[in-house]
């Protein structure tokens, strides 16, 4: 018996849960810190989305699970996008939205998220995303 009664909903919940678990494993966080792994995913996705052109943001989103795609587009206003961001501005955008205390550098957050997402996003799409970014910022992506 499925949890929701809809296979596509159950699948997206399972895949999203796996992504959150991978983020937690990168930091050694227990499952009780699920809100923290969700916040890391959300903050990183929003910073990335705002850094990409509208076209590239849409192309990237097609690689995401249905639930993660909803998180990605939540509250998005494509006006004035892409925002010009180097590494420091990107990390500041993540820091602004990720309000939890963290042992270590804030750059570990997007690195862990990108690593978890890389298992669900086509390598060619990662290459497209990386090609739109300055070298230092692109270094965060797998």
User: Tens of pLDDT along 3-54?
Assistant: 777 888 899 999 999 999 999 998 888 888 899 999 999 999 999 999 999 9
- The mean per-residue pLDDT over the stretch 115-127 comes to 91
HSE on the CB side for 130, CA within 13 Å? 16
What is the sign, positive or negative, of the torsion defined by CA atoms of 9, 99, 121, 64?
A: positive
* DSSP helix, strand, coil percent of the chain (3-state; round to 5): 65, 0, 35
Cα-based distances in Å from 98 to 35, 55, 57, 88: 10, 26, 21, 15
**pLDDT at position 91 over 50:** yes
- The mean per-residue pLDDT over the stretch 96-121 comes to 91
What is the sign, positive or negative, of the torsion defined by CA atoms of 72, 77, 80, 83?
A: negative
**pLDDT at position 120 over 90:** no
CATH 1.10.490.110 matches 7-138: yes
Give the H/E segment covering residue 21.
helix 7-27
Q: Where are the chain's structural domains? A: 7-138
């Amino acid at each position: 018996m499925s949890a929701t009664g809809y296979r596509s909903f159950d699948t997206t919940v399972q895949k999203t849960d796996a992504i959150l678990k991978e983020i937690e494993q990168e930091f050694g966080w227990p499952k009780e810190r699920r809100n923290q792994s969700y916040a890391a995913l959300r903050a990183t996705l929003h910073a990335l989305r705002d850094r990409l052109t509208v076209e590239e943001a849409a192309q990237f989103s097609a690689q995401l699970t249905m639930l993660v795609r909803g998180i990605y587009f939540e509250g998005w206003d494509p006006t004035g996008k892409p925002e010009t961001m180097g590494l420091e501005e990107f990390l500041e955008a993540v820091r602004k939205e990720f309000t939890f205390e963290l042992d270590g550098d804030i750059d570990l957050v997007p690195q862990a998220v990108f690593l978890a997402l890389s298992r669900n996003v086509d390598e060619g799409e990662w290459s497209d995303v990386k090609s739109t970014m300055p070298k230092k910022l692109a270094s965060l992506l797998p």
